Amino acid sequence: MKKFVLTFLFQVMFITCMKGQVYTVPSKNFFSNMMQVHFVGQYRKGADGLFHYHEFNGREISTTEYNQFTIGLEQFYCYDKTNNMYYFYTDNTLGYYNPQVINYIKYMKNIFKKTDVKNVKEEEAKLLMDNYLKNLHTKFERKNDSIVEKRRIEREKFVKDSTEAAQLKEKEREEYRKKHNKHDLSMSKTYELKCDFCDMEKSLRDYNVLFINGDTLYYMLDEPDIRLLGIDFNEIHYTTLSQEFKNDFKFKEYIDTWKDSIINNSFNCQNAAVLNIIHYNEFKDKICKVAPNGFIQEWGWELNSVQGIEPSFTYFNSTKKTIKYVDFYFSVYNPVGDKCYLKYDHSYIGHVRGVGPVEPFDSGTWDWENATHYTSGDASEMRIVKLVITYMNGTTKTLLGNSIIYDN
């Protein structure tokens, strides 16, 4: 039975070869154990809809790959007797067979003796192969040109048909842009965002957008990250947007409206980090200019149940030196402006010392809960009289009157 099937298939192949050396692509499930199939090159349609050339350089091809990507009928165009190679092409492929079984080798030779397929030497076979390869390139270049041209025509028609609608929509956008700020983004709900730069988590509904690059949103908070002496520092934050955020209809509307000016594919996290450093240094320079010796950031006081004075101070060091001590000298007054003396020593000036260290551009806070000064019960106001700042290098700075700066 097996011999009958083989004979029948060989006869079918012989008949088809005699009719111009064209035959249906054989079943590789049967022939794979009789021959090796090698591809020189092949055109395949890519995801872009165009045909792209894949170079194989004679690599042996599996049955699966052959059946999956080969298009059309095989046609032999020459035979290299010396190397036992049968060169063929299909609608998209150039390759050759190399029979492996001795009986099949003899069979193929007998068939090709009765056809007009050229029996050539290896050099001529390669020249013919190059010629057929050029023809293959030419054919698919024309196919691609035809596809591109068809797309161009369809695109021109689409543009022509939609021009009026696009112009109307653009006019509406322009009117909207005139009345709104491109940096303002209001979402339909509140989203929890975590900054990839500072790890800060914040629930936000409104965003001060700087740029969008891919899935990364670069933004600033509505409130400054730091405010000292009325001077603000706004840090650039950035976060990777969730799919839910990107699918929010408000975000889609925002991108559709401002994409030409808010999308910046060249801005990245390194840019944000550099700008944050630059802006922070500018912020520091402004603070140092206003308060070159530092300033009282916060302060307060209260009387305990036995009229003991319990002050609290936060002092900000805006110098380049580390503070060792801050000595605060103060007086207290009653509601009509009379200075209240301090009991026990009958002095009108009190003193407390804050012990550091307080590093440059940092602050130190002190609370004196155990009173060392006592006054009359009608004391209602405290005034700072003097500050003496001692630095770690032993130098001191005394501040009086208007030279004492307060962060209001």
CATH number at residue 328: 2.60.40
CA distance 60 to 55: 12
Q: What is the pLDDT of residue 10?
A: 41
CA distance 7 to 40: 30
Greatest mean pLDDT among 70-79, 152-161, 189-198, 279-288 lies in 279-288
312 and 190 in a common domain: no
Residue 369: Cβ within 10 Å count? 10
Which one has a higher pLDDT value, 82 or 150? 150
Residue 33 has pLDDT above 70, yes or no: no
Greatest mean pLDDT among 11-25, 114-128, 171-185, 292-306 lies in 292-306
Could you report how far apart the first and last alpha carbons of the chain are, in Å? 105
**Structural domain contains residue 144:** no
130 and 21 in a common domain: yes
Residue 136 has pLDDT above 60, yes or no: yes
Predicted confidence band of residue 327 (pLDDT cuts 50, 70, 90): very high
CA distance 280 to 310: 35
Predicted confidence band of residue 114 (pLDDT cuts 50, 70, 90): low
Residue 242 has pLDDT above 70, yes or no: yes
**Structural domain contains residue 143:** no
Strand partners, 319: none
User: DSSP assignment of 233-250, as one string?
Assistant: E---EEEEPPHHHHH-HH
Which one has a higher pLDDT value, 16 or 343? 343
Lowest mean pLDDT among 30-34, 208-212, 276-280, 325-329: 30-34
Residue 27 has pLDDT above 60, yes or no: no
Predicted confidence band of residue 32 (pLDDT cuts 50, 70, 90): low
Arithmetic mean of pLDDT, 292-302:
93
Which tokens in the block code for residue 344? 């026990």
> What letter represents residue 162's amino acid?
S
Number of Cα atoms under 13 Å in the Cβ half of residue 122: 3
312 and 280 in a common domain: no
The last residue of one of the domains, among 259, 285, 311, is 285
Q: In this prediction, what percent of the chain has a pLDDT beyond 70? A: 91
18 and 104 in a common domain: yes
Lowest mean pLDDT among 4-13, 189-198, 311-320: 4-13
> Rounded mean pLDDT of the chain?
85
Arithmetic mean of pLDDT, 370-386:
88
Helix, strand, or coil (residue 102): helix
Strands (E), 24-107: 35-45, 51-60, 74-80, 85-89, 93-99
The last residue of one of the domains, among 285, 313, 346, is 285
Which tokens in the block code for residue 21? 């050396």
Residue 25 has pLDDT above 60, yes or no: no
Residue 348 has pLDDT above 70, yes or no: yes
Q: In this prediction, what percent of the chain has a pLDDT beyond 90? A: 46
Residue 16 has pLDDT above 70, yes or no: no
Cβ–Cβ < 8 Å for 373, 308: yes
**Structural domain contains residue 41:** yes
Cβ–Cβ < 8 Å for 78, 120: yes
Residue 172 has pLDDT above 80, yes or no: no
| Locus of tokens 């009325």 | 230
Predicted confidence band of residue 31 (pLDDT cuts 50, 70, 90): low
Q: Summarize pLDDT for 48-64 with one digit per residue, the tens.
A: 999 999 999 989 988 88
Domain tally, the chain: 3
CA distance 385 to 389: 14
92 and 111 in a common domain: yes
**Structural domain contains residue 108:** yes
Residue 68 has pLDDT above 90, yes or no: no
pTM over 0.75: no
Domain around 348: 295-403
CA distance 22 to 10: 14
**Structural domain contains residue 22:** yes
Quick one: the chain helix, strand, coil %, rounded to 5? 35, 40, 30
| ω into 224 cis (within 30 of 0) | no
